[in-house]
Amino acid sequence: MIFTHKIKFSDVGKSLVQFLVEKYTYYSLEEWKKQIKEEQILVNKTKVDIDLSLKLNDEVYFSVENFIEPDVDTNISIVYDDEYLFAVNKSGNLPVHPAGRYRVNNLTTLLSKSNMVTSEIFIINRLDRETSGIVLFAKSSQVASKLGKLFENGKVNKTYICYVEGIFPEKLFANGFLAKDTDSKIRKKKKFSYEKMESSLWEVNTDFALIQVSNGISKIFAYPHTGKIHQIRATLYSIGYPVVGDKMYGYDESLFLEFIETGISKNKYSIQRQALHAYSLEFIHPITKKQVHIEAKEPEDMKTIFQIQIP
């Protein structure tokens, strides 16, 4: 099996092995080095050294024999379905679309190969691999365009359930800005601030409400009014309430770096993923013009968090 990736401006100047470790986090540094030495990784179809400096539009080739994808949780269910669109409740260990090593073990591919859907599908919203809950699909490009505009224009009410460290206030309104976290060793990590920063990327707005507190952990609702990558996780981390089990935005980012290096997940909680769940969506149907409410029950692994004793 051969994968290819064309180098973009953001990766220019990186060493080949640095690029691979950052882009495809489910192989360790040593595994990538081994594959380069064994000529399973080529650049522009040519054998290269580990420390090769990448240039714009270089093409990285992955020649992988006996390729085995990481295990995923394929526990998915249809929670809404009509003539024009449908919604799936996905597990907390399942990528939404093909990326990295997840060429088959991802939600869209699994749906396309299953008998759960009988038409072409168009994904509308995306969740992180470790976020469970509702993923919305359209059954035509026309409906997909209309649904996409609803999300872009803030016409979809989204509710998440999450567990965070600390005693959360009854209500909290976080209207501010997301920027790159220049203090972090993690390239993709963001930080939230109520004040605009020089490196600000987006203005974001999230409301939070407390549900329950137990054992120093708070269960809360999150209502994101904008839809930027890592918005909820980065906001909660930056205001002092990191999501339970979050490797990147958790209590110790070295766990994420170790996870990249070794592929082994460690944290002080028994839940092996971030405790974030896309609980409900509400919007006016773009075709029927009726109010749509879609809900996905809280998953069992999150329900057990209050039973966990923290050392």
Give pLDDT tens digits for 264-297: 555 667 688 999 999 999 999 999 999 999 999 9
Return the pLDDT at 66. Answer: 57
Nearest to 135 by CA among 198, 208, 76: 76
Report the chain's mean pLDDT, rounded to a whole number. 87
Model confidence at 310: pLDDT above 50: no
Residue 301 has pLDDT above 70, yes or no: yes
Q: Which CATH class is domain 160-276?
A: alpha beta
Question: Measured in whole angstroms, how far is the alpha carbon of residue 228 from the centre of its chain?
Answer: 11
Least confident stretch, 164-178, 196-210, 243-257: 243-257
The residue behind tokens 């990285």 is 60
Task: Give the mean model confidence (pLDDT) for residues 219-244.
Answer: 96
What CATH homologous superfamily does 2-63 map to? Answer: RNA-binding S4 domain (3.10.290.10)
pLDDT tens-digit map of 146-200: 999 999 999 999 999 999 999 999 999 999 999 988 887 777 889 999 998 877 7
Angle at CA of residue 145, ends 144 and 150, nearest 5°: 95
pLDDT band of 64, cuts 50, 70, 90: low
pTM exceeds 0.85 = no
Instruction: Note whether 79 and 88 are within 8 A (CB).
Output: yes
Higher pLDDT, 187 or 214: 214
Share of the chain above pLDDT 70, in %: 87
SS3 281: strand
Closest by CA to 286, choosing from 111, 184, 141, 176, is 141
CATH 3.10.290.10 residue ranges of the chain are 2-63
> Which residues belong to CATH 3.30.2350.10 in the chain?
160-276
Instruction: Give residue-wise pLDDT tens across range 1-15.
Output: 667 788 888 889 999
Q: Which residues contact 158 (CB under 8 A, 6 or more apart)?
A: 223, 224, 227, 278, 280, 281
Q: Which residue has the higher pLDDT, 103 or 114?
A: 114
Would you list the DSSP string of 139-183? SSHHHHHHHHHHHHTT-SEEEEEEEEES---SEEEEEEEEEE-TT
pLDDT higher than threshold 90 for residue 260: no
* Of residues 64 and 310, more confidently modeled: 64
Residue 261 has pLDDT above 60, yes or no: no
Q: Is the pLDDT of residue 46 over 80?
A: yes
Report CA Rg, the chain.
20
Q: For residue 309, what is the DSSP state?
A: P
Residue type, 256: F
- The answer, yes or no, to whether residue 248 has pLDDT greater than 90, is no
| DSSP per-residue string spanning 14-75 | -BHHHHHHHH-TTS-HHHHHHHHHTT-EEETTB---TTPBP-TT-EEEEE-TT--PPP----
Residue type, 201: L
